[in-house]
Amino acid sequence: MPVVTPVQYKHMLDRARDGKFAYPAFNVTSTETANAVLLGLKTANSDGIVQISTGGAEFMSGLGVKDMAKGAIALANYVHYMAQFYDVNIALHTDHCHPKYLEKLVLPLIEETERRRSAGLPNLYNAHMFDGSELGLAENISKSSELLKRCAASEIILEVEIGVVGGEEDGHDTSGVAKEKLYTTPEDMVATHRALSPIGPYLLAATFGNVHGVYKPGNVKLKPTILKDGQAAIAAACNGERSMLVFHGGSGSSLEEIHETLEYGVVKMNVDTDTQYAFTRSIADHMFKNYDGVMKIDGEVGDKKTYDPRPYMKKAEQNMANRVIQACNDLRCAGKSAGRTL
């Protein structure tokens, strides 16, 4: 089916909130990894999100261009075309755009959607993420409000982050951040909701000890009750309203912790580290098992069947798709595609 419309995407999020499940948002860097996401979602009979980061978007544009916006536009156009051949609903997001990258990624993409809408074409992306967590709360909310006004005019949802997700992603290292910033306060969640909710739909990445990167289960110390307390504070201050929440940095989290966050309003969870590993693991396996074939050693010619990229890229696509299916099961969205009823 085509990439969902703004109205359809809003329905998707409402279904997740009401049904206490979440959509996985898979970061991709290529058409191959995008294909793996689409295959996994189709196999799991789950709706879901294809997502690209600043670094992923630049990589997507190739070494000869190295332009975030161009790479993100190319990825979106590819997914728009291919999604129509899959019987699940697909949304498109950008991920973690820090203030210094706004003019390189998010603003050009909003401009592209504005251009498309004026020509009667569908939106390019369903949502963009502005990560202003490095700013003070007041400045973060101010810039987020300004961005949301422009996004709302084109029916784009804005995802924002308050508090800081620890670790490192796309070269952005927050390991030196004070520990208290890893936990969003109820007061900050209320202030954010009061400022943004009157403008338009938004998603909130509130932090509760989550960390980007690679961790063994049990090594990440989450406090999901922070989300519960924040939602209760929003409801008390804003006539029973609740925010739609996003879970970042989920690697190493237990299934019990993930399920607990779904009870508190998480409707989207980012998945990147685990799918990167799944994709690369298959390629490494192929290379180790076929070393003599993929290398022209001592003047030999190698084995074209083993160094042809297609066989090992197919393995990588399937292995990553398998990890996509696992994420859908973990987030309770497997088997719940709304199909053409949206």
**Whole-prediction pTM value?**
0.93
Alpha helices in 264-308 (DSSP H): 273-289, 291-294, 304-307
What does the pLDDT look like over 21-44, one tens digit per residue? Answer: 999 999 999 999 999 999 999 999
Rounded to the nearest integer, the mean pLDDT of the chain is 92
Which of 95, 131, 188, 330 is catalytic? The answer is 95
Q: Which two tokens stand for residue 63?
A: 């070494």
Angle between helices 68-83 and 106-118 (to 10 degrees): 50
**CB neighbour list of residue 49: distance below 8 Å, 6 or more residues apart:** 23, 24, 25, 26, 90, 91, 92, 93, 268
Q: Which domains does the chain have, with CATH numbers?
A: 6-341 (3.20.20.70)
Identify the helix (H) or strand (E) that includes residue 262.
helix 255-263
Taking residues 147-159, report their average pLDDT. 98
Query: CB pairs under 8 A, 24+ apart, for 13-16?
Result: 13/157, 13/201, 13/203, 13/244, 13/267, 13/268, 15/336, 15/338, 16/267, 16/268, 16/333
Q: Is 95 a catalytic residue?
A: yes
Helix-then-strand count for the chain, H and E: 13, 10
How far are the Cα atoms of 37, 195, 199 from residue 316, in angstroms, in the given order? 11, 44, 42
Share of the chain above pLDDT 90, in %: 84
How far CA 248 is from CA of 81, 138, 306, in Å, comes to: 28, 22, 37
What band does 165 get if pLDDT is binned at 50, 70 and 90?
low
